[in-house]
Amino acid sequence: MCPRRVRRNGPAAAVVMVIAAAALAATASAGPRYSSRIVEIETGAIRGIILELNSRHLEPVEVFRGVPYAAAPVGPQRFRPPAAPISWPGTRLADTFGAVCPQRVPDISNRTLALLHMPKGRYHHLKKLIPLLLNQSEDCLFLNIYVPGSGNRGLEAPYAVLVFIHGESFEWGSGNPYDGSVLASYGHVIVVTLNFRLGLLGFLRTRPVGAYKVDTGGDPPSGGNLGMKDIAAGLGWIKRNIGAFGGDPTRVTLMGHDTGAALANLLFVSPSSKGLFRRVVLLSGTALSPWATTHNPDALRLSVGQQTGCLPMPGFTASTSNAPPTATGGSGDDQRKKSPPQDDVDIAPCLRSR
Ligand SMILES: *[C@@H]1O[C@H](CO)[C@@H](O)[C@H](O)[C@H]1NC(C)=O
Ligand SMILES: *[C@@H]1O[C@H](CO)[C@@H](O)[C@H](O)[C@H]1NC(C)=O
C-alpha cells in the first residue's frame, strides 16, 4: 500500500464529509439515553444508546459504539492476523467509541502554513476531524452499529447492512467520526463503521516475497496487509452477529471511500472474503488507482528494519544494497561476508518486541 496520497475534491468526498458533519452534531448532545433492549451476540450481552436526530422527519436510531470484533492485536498478537474477540461477563454498555488505531494525524497547527497546501474547506474539515482521532491505542479493533427505528424491528427488518470503509489514508483515519445515524434513519439500513490497523502495523509487509521458499517455521508466507485482514474479520463478525441486531447477513454492502475504496475493491477480488458481502460501492478510488498499491514492499521492509535496529544498517552486509561496493578489499568486505543474508528475514518477531 502506498502511504502518500494526492488529495482530490470529488462529489463522493463531499458526501462523506456530510456524514462526518452529522457525527459532530450528534456527539454534541447531552448524556446517553440507553436502549431498552439487550442484544445477545457471540461474545456476550450488549446494550446500545438511543440517538435522537434533530429532525421531525427522522426517527431516532439505536447506536452501539466500540463493539470489539477481534482480539486486541497487541503483544504477541502484534503483526499477526486478527484473532477471535474475547467474551465479556454481564452486559456491555456500548456507549463509548473505542480507541482509534495508532497514527500520526496531519499537522495543521500553523493555519497559514496549512492553507498553503490545501483549500479552506479541507482545512476546516480536518480541524473538525483531527480531535476525533486523538484517543489512540493498539487495542483498536472496534466497530460501531447504527440501527434504524429505535431498535424496534420495523416493517423492513431484517435490514440491509451498509459497511463503511473509511478513507483519508492508509496511515490515518478511523470509522468513528463517520456517524451513520442519519443514513440509517433515512435509508432504513443498518450502517456499520469500523477501525482497522493502519500504517506500519496495518500494511507493512514484514516478510519478503521469496521467504516462503526457505523454512518459515510453519507461518504462512505472506505477512502484510493486516489492515485488510482486519476488515475481513469485521465482515465475518457482521455475518455471524448482525442478525441479532435486526440485520440481514445475506445483504451486506461494502462502501469504501478513497483509500477505503481501494481496500473494498481488493477485498471484492480476494478469495478470502468470498461470501462475506454481496455488493460494493467505490467512492473516489479503486484497486487500480496509482496510489492503491506499492510495487516495492521490500524496500519498506528494509528501511523499517534498519531504522528500528531489526536489520543491520546498509554497508555492513552485501545483501542490503544493489550498489557495487565502494571499498575494494580490506576489512569492509570481510564484515559483509560474515553478516547473515537479509533477503529472507521476517522482521515481525523483532518488531513485536519494540
Ligand atoms: C479512549 O478509548 C478507550 C477504549 O479503548 C475508552 O475506554 C476511553 O473512554 C476513551 N477515552 C476517551 C476520552 O474517549
Ligand atoms: C507559520 O508558517 C508561516 C509560513 O511558513 C511562517 O511564516 C510563520 O512564522 C509560522 N508561524 C508560526 C507561529 O510558527
- Ligand in closest contact with the CA of 136: 1
pLDDT for the residue 148: 93
Average pLDDT, the chain: 84
Domain count, the chain: 2
Is there a domain that residue 324 lies in?
A: yes
Query: Is 222 strand, coil or helix?
Result: coil
Q: Are 138 and 59 in contact (CB under 8 A)?
A: no
Q: For residues 208 and 303, which has the higher predicted lDDT (pLDDT)?
A: 303
- Strand ranges for 36-100 from DSSP E: 39-41, 44-47, 49-51, 61-68, 91-93
Ligand 2 center–CA 110 separation, angstroms: 6
Ligand 1 center–CA 281 separation, angstroms: 31
Ligand 2 center–CA 115 separation, angstroms: 11
pLDDT for the residue 343: 63
Q: Is the pLDDT confidence value at 185 over 50?
A: yes
Q: For residues 250 and 210, which has the higher predicted lDDT (pLDDT)?
A: 250
Domain-ending residue, one of 228, 249, 283:
283
pLDDT for the residue 217: 54
pTM to 2 decimal places:
0.84
Residues 42 and 174 in one domain: yes
Residues 132 and 179 in one domain: yes
Chain segment 63-112, per-residue pLDDT in tens: 999 999 999 999 999 999 999 999 999 999 999 999 999 999 999 999 99
Is there a domain that residue 290 lies in?
A: no
Q: Is the pLDDT confidence value at 210 over 70?
A: no
pLDDT for the residue 193: 98
Is there a domain that residue 109 lies in?
A: yes
Pocket test for ligand 2, best of 112, 115, 117, 123 (most atoms within 8 A of CB): 112
Which CATH number do you get for residue 173? Answer: 3.40.50.1820
| Set of cell numbers at residue 270 | 480476494
Q: Look up the domain containing 320 and give its range.
A: 297-352
Ligand 1 center–CA 191 separation, angstroms: 22
pLDDT for the residue 16: 47
Q: For residues 206 and 241, which has the higher predicted lDDT (pLDDT)?
A: 241
Distance CA 306, CA 315 (A): 11
Residues 188 and 232 in one domain: yes
Across the range 111-115, mean pLDDT stands at 97
Per DSSP, what are the bridge partners of residue 68? 142
Residues 39 and 150 in one domain: yes
Across the range 308-337, mean pLDDT stands at 53
Residues 198 and 347 in one domain: no
- Using alpha carbons only, what angle is made at residue 105 by residues 190 and 308, rounded to the nearest 5 degrees? 115
Distance CA 257, CA 178 (A): 11
Is there a domain that residue 102 lies in?
A: yes
Distance CA 142, CA 29 (A): 22
Across the range 325-352, mean pLDDT stands at 57
Is there a domain that residue 288 lies in?
A: no
Ligand 2 neighbour 86 (Cβ under 6 A): no
Phi, psi dihedral angles at 250 (to 5 degrees): -95, -5
Ligand 1 center–CA 71 separation, angstroms: 17
Is there a domain that residue 5 lies in?
A: no
Ligand 2 neighbour 112 (Cβ under 6 A): yes
Q: For residue 326, what is the DSSP state?
A: S
Q: Could you tell me the strand order of the sheet in which 91-93 lies?
A: 39-41, 44-47, 91-93
Residues 203 and 307 in one domain: no
Residues 311 and 175 in one domain: no
Residues 95 and 62 in one domain: yes
Task: Find where cell 569492509 sits.
Answer: 332
Q: Is the pLDDT confidence value at 158 over 80?
A: yes
Domain-ending residue, one of 250, 283, 316:
283
| Set of cell numbers at residue 61 | 436510531
Ligand 1 neighbour 137 (Cβ under 6 A): yes
Residues 212 and 307 in one domain: no
Residues 68 and 133 in one domain: yes
Q: For residues 212 and 67, which has the higher predicted lDDT (pLDDT)?
A: 67
Chain segment 16-50, per-residue pLDDT in tens: 444 544 454 455 456 789 999 999 999 999 999 99
Residues 320 and 195 in one domain: no
**CB contact set of 273 (below 8 Å; sequence gap of 6+):** 232, 235, 267
- Ligand in closest contact with the CA of 68: 1
Domain-ending residue, one of 225, 252, 283:
283
Ligand 2 neighbour 113 (Cβ under 6 A): yes
Band of the pLDDT at 15, cuts 50, 70, 90? Answer: very low
Chain segment 227-285, per-residue pLDDT in tens: 999 999 999 999 999 999 999 999 999 999 999 999 999 999 998 889 999 999 999 99
Is there a domain that residue 292 lies in?
A: no
Residues 71 and 135 in one domain: yes
Residue among 34, 13, 77, 84 nearest 237 (CA): 84
pLDDT for the residue 157: 80
